[in-house]
Structure 1
Amino acid sequence: MQVSSRKWGGVDTEECGDVNSTCNSFELYEMHVNQPYRTEADIFMLGGATTDEISVATERGSVQFDENGEMKISDQAYWQIKKIGAVDYSRMKGFNHKVLFHSINIVLPTTKQTIYVLKLVVTKDKATNFSLLRTEPFLSLRMNVSIFNFIGYNASIEGTGLIGINYEPDVFTRDNHLNLVNYSFTNISSIMTAKELKEIIGEKDDEQPLGVASILNVKSGSAKILPIYIYDCQFDQCKCSVEIPARERRQIGVGGAIAFCGKTLLLTLGLQKLINCSRNVTFAQPKLQYSINRIMNRYEKESNLFNDNHQLFLPQYQKSNTNNHLNQKYKRKIVSNVTKKVNYQIEVAGGAYVSLVGGGRGEERFIAKKSLSEYMRKQGEKAEDILHIVDDMSRPWVTFDNCIISW
């Protein structure tokens, strides 16, 4: 384990660097995480040795978490949070971060005391939320995430998906900010209720659906331009189950494995395999309605018993009319305070759910084109080269290239 900004290296266990000597990198090759671990390195790389480095490294490296294991990656250093020698450094900005996962197996426990394994903690105004990889409250452009050669299997999660990314407001970048390449998830299931789905800070709940899936959830409700690149990935037997309460009025989108919701997303999915992925949506019955149904069933049984006992004294048509009259009168009495119409707004998909909100309409597209043009001029692009790039990138797109979907 090496944590240092100097060429000769250094050893550390929990905290990294000081005011005069900050850490630039953090690299590890073998690890068993059985307690909370924190690092503040500018570059975090979690990976195993490859055959290019060691010829006998034919299998991926592994990081195993037990029920108390968790890892925090923060761009706000310990010396920024705590006073050192009565000096307050809390106003100093954190560093730009790069987080890299490669050639690695992450082994999750069957039970977990904490709600995440990896947590990206960005300074309070810039940050995201996950269970395998958790960032809060949203992900900023100062922290890039790339995952390569990743395997996940045999996990059951409650209350969230495996990876969930909420982006900061008004994201604008030409570069692929989220890169997921050559990863595989098998037999992953998540179970949650709609009340556990939260909006991004500053977002109105009626602007776009709340996307949810068992593996990957990406959401950016106000992105100006956000390219996302996912390549050569497989999802096999992944399932997402959501319970919708009776009073839910928000839009909710459910995908079996992956879900993307946002504005002006440039989403490229290449060589994807979605195999036997599914979703399940159930509607919770209100407690009051459940009690009413029980009362009605009991009343109908008593009513039928009464009519059966007095059948000799009532003609058949009179018996039917009497039953209907009593039932309607009793229903009006006990249902008067119950919501009569339920307004669910639920969209479901088998393997992948994609919702692109806005971005392609007149005013919004004009704003996106203007922002992109100004950005490219600052980068020194020639005027004749800008037009076709701006036209292509100023509207949302979804590309499925050489993908397999099977169920």
Structure 2
Amino acid sequence: MSTEPTTGAHGTGHGFATRAIHAGQEPDPRTGAVNVPIFASSTFAQDGVGAMREGYEYARTGNPTRTALEECLAALEGGRFGRAFASGMAATDAALRSMLRPGDHLVIPDDAYGGTFRLIDKVFTQWGVTYTPVSVNDVDAVRAAIGPQTKVVWIETPTNPLLNIGDIAALAEITRETGTRLVVDNTFASPYLQQPLALGADVVLHSTTKYLGGHSDVVGGALVTDDEELDAGFAFLQNGAGAVPGPFDAYLTLRGAKTLAVRMEQHSTNAEAVVDLLTSHPGVSSVLYPGLPEHPGHEVAAGQMRRFGGMISVRLAGGREAALQLCNRTEIFTLAESLGGIESLIEHPGAMTHASTAGSALEVPEDLVRLSVGIETTADLVADLEQALS
């Protein structure tokens, strides 16, 4: 598997966990507060007309708590620029609007997150943007889908919900050759497990609601890049459209990011134990997890991820009814949308997070169940699924 970069953002040379706790988070110079304060102010005094203190004038444009979060997120992804948004979809919208114009084309996963698909299919197509769904694990298919009007190749890896794996380095080589931009939604992996910028991606996107926040108590999104021109476009829409996180949201996300490294280790450990159960259970027809040697993307994932994460999808031998019964029978796994929190969640994508893909090329199987494996006691999670499947 890939190892942690020896040099952090801005040449600090610090490891991931150190950056998570300290990047953008120096003790407050006035009070010595170790935690970044929540700057709950909508506006900032100026020392003269246009003479702003530290560049702050209005909280939509910039807020010190948000700045700390953005610096930390950039450091965790090994990037120069980070922008925080009010949700993952707000970040998605800003990225697409910044990089696309009417008549442009983009490539998306054929099992993309339902919210991403809905935004592109129902909103951006009205703007004259076209798209082609392809399998992210098929490099040749991605190359074939790129045409003269293609501006963006947008991938998830692992994908949501089928956990397919895209070879980021190989796809980055294609986008460089074709003059397109590669955007990687890194939400499922988190910056701890995967570093897309180091592999050649132009932009990394996160729903910080998920693993970065990690406690199911805040909604947010982020864009990270090394490209100053791209960042300028993101910053313009961040301010101009105004989908920014409030200071308390930024504080909660920053607090969650501090423990990302230790949480992702336990998520991965628990997921591996759950996979051991599921692969041997007669009620399960297939287990979708990149950590399995038989997974078609296993070798690529092993080369670009530190571990294989806490997300698992399964297909039930009894079809849709068995999938719904499993979702309703668990006691520790909570039936709920979202993912990446410390508590374990279970859901039926076809009826919940991916309902918007029904009837499209991205429709998910009805027998599919998605698990977000939390950090509870490992044996308890295994026992819960065992009783729910019995």
**Normalising TM by the smaller chain, what interval?**
under 0.3
Q: Which has the larger radius of gyration?
A: 1
More helix, by proportion: 2
User: What TM-score, normalized to structure 2?
Assistant: 0.24
Where relative contact order (Cα < 8 A, 6+ residues apart) is larger, the structure is: 2
Compute the TM-score of the two structures, normalised by the length of structure 1: 0.23
